[in-house]
Amino acid sequence: MPPNRAGADSSTRPSSRGSGPPTRSFRERLGAVRNIPPFLALIWHTSKPLTLWTVLLRFVRALLPVATLFVGKLIIDEVMARSSVLGAPRTLGGWLANVASHRMLWLLGAEFGLAVLSDVLGRLVSLFDSLLSEQFSNITSIRLMEHAATLDLEDFEDSEQQDKLERARRQASGRMSLMNQLFGQAQDLITIVSFAVGLVAYAPWLIVLLFFTLIPAFLGEAYFNEKSYALAYTRTADRRELDYVRQTGASVETAKEVKIFGLNAFLIDRYRVLANDFYRANRTLAMRRAGWGGALTAVGTGGYYVAYAYIVFRTLTGQFSIGDLTFLAGSFRRLRGLLDTLLIGFTQTTSQALYLDDLFSFFMITPEIHSPKNPRAFPLPIIRGIEFENVGFKYPGADRWAVRHMSFTLRAGEVLALVGENGAGKTTIVKLLARLYDPVEGRILVDGHDMRGYDLDELRSNTGVIFQDFVRYNMTASENIAVGRIEARTDYARVEASAERSLASEVIAKLPMRYEQQLGKRFRSGVDLSGGEWQKVAIARAYMRDAQLLILDEPTAALDARAEYEVFQRFKELSTGKTGVIISHRFSSVRMADRILVLADGRVEASGTHEALLAQHGRYAELFELQAAGYR
């Protein structure tokens, strides 16, 4: 296994508190901007028409502020000029008549039109942004699900990869604020250029003053944005724990046990401790940010009033008109605000670009288990069987081998039972058979050829596995069975036949809407089943799959002994011509298998029929007698 994979032992998860990404220099943080082009490419491919429209509308809207301010300057100059003329009208009617015959009417009409156009464009931009944002979120989430489907089981059992998946999931739905910010910054930049052109014509050194007064606030925001990202990064695992505690304390899946064991107070206290810890960390950062931000912003405010005093001075000396004063003061004020927003927004953009690392780095995870370039055709049917040839495997990060020097043959058409104490390697064998993991040592042969030489989808299509911790889908009863072969979900005859085979038909017959009944309590019309009833529905999935290799990994643990015996008896009868593997702790059930493997410490300790193993007086006979004694 590659050394960069984290351990798969889910029983212990080192807290990420206090650890996180390495401290980044300012240049390294700027390097995160490399994520912007692929992000914009994602937006472009989401909807080209919507992207073009929002860019075009923002461009037009960016020119409106300077145009509006300049028209205002012309109106003021016109008013001053007309009011100083001798014989100017002194009544409202006179002024209206004067205005109507003068260009003042056109100027007022132009300003009104610009105001209306700005409002209309603002609403259109918001409309297109919201539509584009929703499409982007949907498409990115689908892409994330599609990529997750290609990953190995190892990636989902690795706590570090879970953190990466969690961060990517959050970014898939939360990064559209970055799109709005990028488009808004582009719009502001165009507006800034238009204002700057006007200011340069009057006093170029004001632009230089403006930039110098804004740099301290910009650097402060850059620093605190990086700190905010680092805090969010280091708390990913803790955030997952917080969400888990909240879900556990208030969900239908856990409600019974939480109430019976009185866990409410315990879970609430744990949530309170975690939430308060988050709050304290965020409060400390927010207070430092507010204090330093206020001080640094004051520097920019001082620069603005120096420039404003200069403009007033030149107006008083007759170098600028009153219209020039309003235009320059308004331009400088707007320019300062826009530059401040742009520079601070740039630091926020680099910060959000760091978050994009979480999304794009997830897409860069590549599966190790995949189909070869030129796969061998999978045997239909399997003739010789499946052979474990000196197979060894240990989970990533684990010191102990789950199985080692494992050699046995599962003959075609045979029902094989795996028996052993917990940790003997039974479920690991199942995962290897389904190629959820690949052996570290040795190989697994299917009809004499390495399993890794076959197409992965074809291999799994011919393998049906029902685990003890099967999923209880909050879907209809029909869909819960059809997940065994989801492409055949509309083949209702096949669904019903699978239910008959697993005895789930008896459960479904009691439901109000039978096969169309929603199962589970997540949704309003859902009906929950008992543990044993759920297991019969889950076992129906194995028959629905109709695979060459059927594996039941302790899926009947919630059934009583008689019900489990009936299920396995039907499994034995109905799997004629197929290869089957049964894992169960009840010896009354495994004894019906054609052959039994006794596992211990990841090795095959004994093999044979029920009677032969009893005659050996070994581990199997000992475990059988211990269980039998409990029924006497």
Span 187-200, average pLDDT: 77
Q: Specify the pairing of strand 549-553 against strand 579-583.
A: parallel
CATH number at residue 484: 3.40.50.300
Span 419-431, average pLDDT: 86
Question: Which domain-ending residue is among 331, 347, 363?
Answer: 363
Q: Are residues 98 and 230 in the same domain?
A: yes
Distances (CA, A) of 431 to 425, 460, 604: 10, 11, 17
Span 161-187, average pLDDT: 71
Instruction: Provide the b/e sequence for 420-436 (b: ≥16 CB within 10 Å).
Output: beeebbbbbbbbbbbbb
The tokens for 241 are 């724990």
Tokens 């879907």 sit on residue: 475
Distances (CA, A) of 558 to 483, 531, 534, 574, 585: 21, 6, 9, 22, 12
Question: Which domain-ending residue is among 530, 546, 562?
Answer: 546
CA 485 from centroid of its chain's CA atoms:
26
* Bridge partners of residue 527, in order along the sequence: 519
Q: Are residues 73 and 220 in the same domain?
A: yes
Q: Are residues 133 and 248 in the same domain?
A: yes
Let me know: does 111 contact 72? Beta carbons within 8 Å: yes
Whole-number percent of the chain with pLDDT over 90: 11
Tell me if 182 is assigned to some domain. Answer: yes
Tell me if 477 is assigned to some domain. Answer: yes
Whole-number Å distance between alpha carbons of 54 and 290: 33
- Establish whether the linkage from the previous residue to 381 is cis, with ω within 30° of 0: yes
Whole-number Å distance between alpha carbons of 165 and 151: 11
Span 523-544, average pLDDT: 84
Tell me if 25 is assigned to some domain. Answer: no
Question: Which domain-ending residue is among 342, 363, 384?
Answer: 363
Whole-number Å distance between alpha carbons of 359 and 225: 18
- Whose CA is closest to 433, among 601, 550, 279? 550
**Count of Cβ atoms closer than 10 Å to residue 246 Cβ:** 16
- pLDDT band for position 19 (50/70/90)? very low
Write out pLDDT tens, residues 207-226.
666 666 666 766 666 677 66
What is the domain extent for residue 95? 31-363
Tell me if 226 is assigned to some domain. Answer: yes
CA angle 341, 344, 349 (to 5 degrees): 110
Q: Is the pLDDT of residue 9 over 50?
A: no
| Bigger pLDDT: 92 vs 123 | 123
Domain count along the chain: 2
Tell me if 459 is assigned to some domain. Answer: no
Average the pLDDT over each of 370-379, 430-439, 464-473 and give the range with the smallest value.
464-473
Q: Are residues 100 and 231 in the same domain?
A: yes
Distances (CA, A) of 280 to 18, 220, 277: 14, 21, 5
Sign (positive/negative) of CA torsion 446, 447, 449, 454?
Answer: negative
Q: Are residues 475 and 327 in the same domain?
A: no
